[in-house]
Amino acid sequence: MSKKAKRPALGQGLENIFGDGIEDLISNIEQSSSLQSSTQIPLSSIRPNPYQPRKVFDDKALHELAASIEEHGIFTPLLLRESVQGYEIIAGERRFRAAKIAGLDSVPAIIVNFNDEQMMEIAILENVQREDLNAIEEANAYKNLMDRLGYTQEVLAKRVGKSREYCANILRLLKLPLEVQNMVSNGKLTLGHVRPLITLEDEEEIIAIASKIVTDKMSVREVERYVKDLHANKPPKKVKHKDPNLINVENIMESKLQTKVVVENKKIIIKYEDTNDLNRILELLNCIEE
């Protein structure tokens, strides 16, 4: 690889350079250099990847890896790039953290020249492909790819190997109150637990239900039934004597679009939060051409 890699076009990036196998790319680079030909880099000169989407690292797993490193050393070099001050991690942050715990002064590394866009794609796609992210980390990672690399949801879905509907639903998690997002990040709630909460509008109600889920150790099915019953017991918001067929259409569209929909007086009203949410809905309706 040349010292100055060309910056890829937005929305294309590594796909044009390496193909779709980001995990294979990382593995091939790491395994292509033996420990004898890799470079020993002081831990003090290494910084975490600024685009690392994973924020939660399993402490027990890190200590187990540290114990293995103490006994056997590091078999697979870290993948680094030079920065203004030292080096930044492209792949191998778990090994980096475990090496610190093990008391190492330096680690074997392979130095490659990736630009910011390539580095971000690798950091996010590697974690997504290895399923190392919790749902909130995954949602934020997708949002970063869309915001910083100009991905549409269509392109995003292709790059991460997921359906467009899956990506849209994951991104909707970022509409939840931060307190509830933290419950997901901390492993107290799963994606299945909070999915029924996405369509609720009252923030205090969402937080109260989320807390109840954790306290009562509710299953996903129990949460779905609870939210459904809660809505059934509320005074109906629909117009009195409204055509049941229109109500059914509203329910179908709300489920599909994950937002409030009103069908009345020969018109359809679809609620959206902001420009990104509008684009999400337009993509679900196949109204955006690539």
> Catalytic residue positions?
93
* 3-class DSSP state of 55: coil
**CB-CB contact of 278 with 272 (8 Å):** yes
Residues of 173-205 as b/e, b for ≥16 C-beta within 10 angstroms? bebbeeebbebbbeeebbbebbbbbebeeeeee
C-beta atoms surrounding 251 within 10 Å: 11
**CB-CB contact of 284 with 257 (8 Å):** yes
| DSSP secondary structure, 73-132, as one string | --SS-EEEEE-SSSEEEEE-HHHHHHHHHHT-SEEEEEE----HHHHHHHHHHHHHHTT-
**CB-CB contact of 194 with 180 (8 Å):** yes
Please report which residue ranges of the chain form alpha helices under DSSP H: 14-18, 22-32, 59-72, 93-102, 116-129, 135-149, 153-160, 164-172, 178-185, 191-194, 203-216, 220-232, 244-257, 275-284
Q: How far apart are CA 230 and CA 221, in angstroms?
A: 14
Cβ within 8 Å of residue 93, ≥6 positions away: 48, 49, 52, 54, 57
Distance of CA 17 to the CA centre of its chain: 23
C-beta atoms surrounding 247 within 10 Å: 14
